[in-house]
Copies of this chain bind each other. A is one copy, B any other.
Amino acid sequence: MSSESVLAFAPASVGNVGIGFDILGHTVKAVGDRVRARRTAEKGIRIASITGSAAALPLEPEKNTAGMALVSMASALSLPFGIEIEIEKGIPLGSGLGGSAASAVAAVVAGNALLDAPLSKLELLKFAMHGEAVASGSVHVDNIAPSLFGGLVLTVGIDHPRTKQIPVPPSIRCVLAHPHMFLSTREARRVLRKTVDLSDFVWQTANLAGFLSACYTNDLAMLRDAFEDVIIEPQRATLIPGFKAVKQAAMGNGALGCSISGAGPTVFAWAEEPYAEGVRVAMVEAFAEHDLATDSWVSAIDTEGARILEQ
């Protein structure tokens, strides 16, 4: 079994979720990346092909998030065989939907299925993180953990990350509007100030705590009050033409919260199911008024993470 090819899927994800910079992320059912992997007699990692929405990515394993994740895995486990992968990108490059994380996650999940003694998802987390670091320039897990485990996921700690799936009120849908522009994660990180005002810190922690508490208790009134990033969003908003109008459109049509997905430029909103389609249309129109075409989705927040599709 372990010598045949396997096909793994890892979902896209909304990193940060506004109020959880670098610690929260949630999956999106609508879109994701696939990686097919097979054992090779020759040791080492080889990327045979990259297809789909972002085919221009590097084929050298050490420069590719999926490749580097497997390089890290093969090295840590001293694998006696090599792995060849085919990457099928479903997530647009530089969209802020966790595409690099999804590729890394799909790669380690596929690679794991080739092992004689497969590891737990928690053990796979670090390998995927090493892959993600290639794209973002730093090790962080707010896309990796949700793509791997599924749902709204909190990650505490970097060296020995501990993750927690947070329940999402069942009526919630995630609306995504991805404007057709490129924004690199590095650039979006570069604009951030290195310090936070103490008063903003208190405000933001109150909102984060309120958001989590609201999720655990299905308290939509508190969710709406708390769903406001006062630190990162204001610094990145100007990188996305029309962001303010898009957010106003979402909130004016019943969204509970709206912010930047990961490093952007995709804008996400949370809304109760009956409002979600109206929020989507309003966000798309607001981007159009700023001359940006968009892809857009309404998606449940998948509670299933990366998985094997064929084995």
Contacts and interface: CB of A to CB of B under 8 A. Distances in A.
Interface in A224-260: 225-226, 231
Contact of A162 (B20, B166, B210): B210
Contacts of A216: 212-213, 216
A157 B225 contact: yes
A190 interface: no
A75 interface: no
Given A209-B20, A225-B157, A193 B204 contact: no
A210 B21 contact: no
User: How many copies of this protein are present in the complex?
Assistant: 2
A155 interface: yes
A286 to B, nearest CB: 28
A290 interface: no
Interface stretch (A40-48, A104-112, A194-202, A265-273): A194-202
Q: Among A194, A209, A221, which residue has the most Cβ atoms of chain B within 10 A?
A: A209
Interface residues of A, number: 38
B205 A21 contact: yes
A24 B202 CA distance: 11
A58 B198 CA distance: 31
Contacts of A225: 156-157, 162
Residue of A208, A212, A216, A231 with highest tally of chain B CB at under 10 A: A212
A6 interface: no
A194 B200 CA distance: 10
A213 B154 CA distance: 9
Contacts of A192: 198
A49 interface: no
A115 interface: no
Contact of A208 (B193, B209, B226): B209
A304 interface: no
Contacts of A51: none
A186 interface: no
A164 interface: yes
A122 interface: no
Contacts of A195: 195-198
Interface in A126-158: 154-157
18 contacts: A20-B209, A22-B202, A23-B205, A156-B207, A156-B210, A157-B206, A162-B222, A164-B219, A164-B222, A193-B198, A194-B197, A194-B198, A195-B196, A208-B208, A208-B209, A212-B213, A212-B216, A213-B216
Interface of A: 20-24, 154-157, 162, 164, 166, 192-198, 201-202, 204-210, 212-213, 216-217, 219, 221-222, 225-226, 231
